[in-house]
Structure 1
Amino acid sequence: MSLMAFTTVYAQEEEELETDLTTLQFVDADGNVIADGATVNFAPTDPEETPGGFEIKPGIFVENLTDEPVYTAAQVNITAMSSGSLMCCFPANCYNKFELEEFTTDPSEPIQAKAKHSLNTEWYAEAYGSCTASFQLKIYEATLAPGQFVPTKDLIANGPKITVNFIYNDPASINGVSNDGAKAVAFYNANGQQINNLQKGLNFIKYSNGKTVKTVIK
């Protein structure tokens, strides 16, 4: 039996790849669409402490808009990281990066029809700071030739792309304001609407001691 029967083959040619925004899309934990080209910020006030640092994990998912399974991967470009490492396990295989670099994950398993799959990415921060990375979805066509057990995956299109800012701030010292140990209890945007995390632009942070602090995320 030939080696081809056990090997997944990927098309590497990306010249003149079309952009397809009808097959996959990014969504948040509530199902809200994150538009192609958008920049999103995640700044939890109480991140989980792990052996690798403080875990900053945005609730981002990739949704399959079609009635068929879709093989996909992510081209990840880490452009800033103040400390720690960025872990990406999308769709399944994990990559843990400690330096600024660009890499593409393995399209090892498909997203099922009409299903959502977590982006499975987190920044492990060792100290207050930030990490910035872009995520470009890649769309593959899978074919299974006679005698093959693993399908050949040919890269056919680029999907949507977003940029994520992972932010680990000390809530008690944003803009140099001391809150005497008070914890942030709510976030609001410039329109006064409550939001889950700090966003780009003007934000208002309400603390447990009753104070409200204005901050700007750039």
Structure 2
Amino acid sequence: MKKIFTLAAVLLMSAAAMAQNAKSMIQFVDAKGNVIADGATFVANNIEADPFDDTKYQIKPEIFVKNVSEKEIPVAVRFDLTNMPNGELVSCFGECRPFTKPGAHESAYRTLNSGQNASLETEWKPDNSDPATWEATFTACLGQEVDGGFITTYKFLEAGPSIKVKFIYDVTGIENVNNNLQVKEVARFNAQGQKITEPCKGINIVKLSNGKTVKQLIK
């Protein structure tokens, strides 16, 4: 009987350790490397010109996911877009995925090395000029590699830190991005890093004249 109780205690302690694992291994950080605490609210109100459509704008939160563990781990981000009023949220974390409907969505998994800091590469693209303020929930998730043969796949293992992202779309701020409308494409590459002369199906990596590099999903 004593052995049974001892085993049960060990299992309970192991389960408790696992429940805290993802939050101790993953952090959200801002562009300066400051930690965005679990449960905190991050304000995203910097309006930029859409580099692929000069008639539209986007808000790109400068948020990064950091692996603070001592090992390589697969990470994805879940997006609760229940309150998204219009437009789409595009995530290029791992691979580019557009989310056009409110609700729960998930990015692709991306393997992060110990200490690696990776941009979410995510932006909200409103589809009209109406002012809007809304909140989304971003949750970093720890994954596990699945033996799928030639293609590496992942499954959800455990939820990590979660933050609120408050999008503020104020059309009066559009005047501040007019200069960005002159940004032009200077080079384009496919997902394998090969230079191409025109858009190709899949993920395209585009270098712009303002020095930025963005990913574009071509269907």
TM-score with structure 2 setting the length: 0.62
Higher relative contact order (Cα pairs below 8 Å, separated by 6+ residues):
1
Larger strand proportion of the pair: 1
Gaps of 5+ in 1: 1-15, 173-180, 184-218
TM-score, normalisation: structure 1: 0.62
Aligned-residue sequence identity (percent) comes to 29
Q: CA deviation at 1:154?
A: 4.4
| 100, 120, 126: which one aligns with 1:98 | 100
Distance 1:115 1:97, change over 3 A: same
Partner of residue 123, structure 2: 122
Q: Secondary structure at the match of 1:81?
A: coil
More helix by share: 2
**Residue 54 (structure 1) aligned with residue 57 (structure 2):** yes
Structure 2: 5+ residue stretches without partners: 1-15, 177-219
Q: Is 1:72 aligned to residue 75 of structure 2? A: yes
The answer to whether the 8 A contact 2:99-2:105 is kept is no
Alpha-carbon distance in structure 2 between the residues aligned to 1:162 and 1:38: 5
Q: Does structure 2 conserve the Cα–Cα contact (< 8 Å) formed by 1:142 and 1:153? A: yes
Q: Which residue of 2 aligns with 1:167?
A: 168
Please show how residues 9-158 of structure 1 align to structure 2 within 5 Å: 18-19=19-20, 20-44=22-46, 46-49=47-50, 50-51=52-53, 53-90=56-93, 92-107=94-109, 109-126=110-127, 127=129, 128-142=131-145, 148-151=149-152, 153-158=154-159
CA distance 1:83–1:143, shift in 2 (3 Å): closer
SS in 2 for 1:22: helix
Paired residue secondary structure (1:80): coil
Q: How many residues align?
A: 156
The one-letter code matched in structure 2 to 1:84 is: G
8 Å Cα contact 1:81-1:130 kept in structure 2 = no
